[in-house]
Amino acid sequence: VDFQLPDAIAVLSHTPHALNALLADLPPCWTDATEGEGTWSPRIVVTHLLGAERTNWIPRARIILGEGPRALPPLHPAAQVREMPALAVPALLAALTRERAGNLALLDSWHLDARQLDRTAVHPEFGTVSLRQLIATWAVHDLAHLAQIARVMASQYRGAVGPWVAYLRILQT
Ligand code: NI
């Protein structure tokens, strides 16, 4: 499937709703569940998504579109979530919903054309990347973390499902 900005924005605008539907009002046995020491709970994943709204996608898009040196700074997501306040899930979901809407309104206001989407910057690991690739990655990053949340939650019942574990590919990892 070719990248089309409105299609990417469609996914990006749905993610907060999907997270709200999945996580709002769930007991902490789900939202604070992990896959073991040092792994992220759904609550920490949402914290990470909120951090990325603030420091990743739009700031990097601005660098790609800007007139200054087009070098993307490295990001440190694990350190970032450690430094962010430990908010409760409802507060996190509200903040993510608000900040995502603001970022998408800003993106829309730029009226990006194909030439702008093809602009590039230098990523610290990958070298040349385009704005188009950044925005596609923003959408896939949402989907990856939705899958991660589902996997973390599913793994809590690895023992509870008994022999059905054999049919549940999500538990085979
Ligand atoms: Ni991530």
Taking the centre of ligand 1 as the mean of its atom positions, its distance from the CA of residue 162, in whole angstroms, is 32
Taking the centre of ligand 1 as the mean of its atom positions, its distance from the CA of residue 7, in whole angstroms, is 21
Average pLDDT estimate for 153-170: 97
Average pLDDT estimate for 34-47: 97
Taking the centre of ligand 1 as the mean of its atom positions, its distance from the CA of residue 163, in whole angstroms, is 33
Taking the centre of ligand 1 as the mean of its atom positions, its distance from the CA of residue 74, in whole angstroms, is 14
Decide if 171 contacts 158 (C-beta within 8 A): yes
| Whole-angstrom distance, CA of residue 65 vs CA of residue 70 | 8
pLDDT tens for each residue of 58-115: 999 999 999 988 999 999 999 999 999 999 999 999 999 999 999 999 999 999 999 9
Q: What pLDDT score was predicted for residue 173?
A: 74
Assign 53 to helix, strand or coil: helix
Q: Which tokens in the block code for residue 41? A: 């709970």
DSSP notation for 122-159: EETTTEEEEHHHHHHHHHHHHHHHHHHHHHHHHHTTTT
Q: What pLDDT score was predicted for residue 110?
A: 97
Nearest CA to 124 out of 69, 162, 78, 42 is that of 69
Q: What pLDDT score was predicted for residue 68?
A: 82
Taking the centre of ligand 1 as the mean of its atom positions, its distance from the CA of residue 124, in whole angstroms, is 16
Rounded to two decimals, the pTM is: 0.96
Decide if 32 contacts 43 (C-beta within 8 A): yes
Taking the centre of ligand 1 as the mean of its atom positions, its distance from the CA of residue 152, in whole angstroms, is 15
> 156 phi and psi, to 5 degrees?
-65, -25
Mean pLDDT (the chain, rounded): 96
| Whole-angstrom distance, CA of residue 62 vs CA of residue 17 | 26
Taking the centre of ligand 1 as the mean of its atom positions, its distance from the CA of residue 46, in whole angstroms, is 10
Taking the centre of ligand 1 as the mean of its atom positions, its distance from the CA of residue 48, in whole angstroms, is 7
Taking the centre of ligand 1 as the mean of its atom positions, its distance from the CA of residue 78, in whole angstroms, is 9
Q: What pLDDT score was predicted for residue 87?
A: 94
Based on the number of CB atoms within 10 Å of its own CB, is 93 exposed (0-12), middle (13-18) or buried (19 or more)? buried
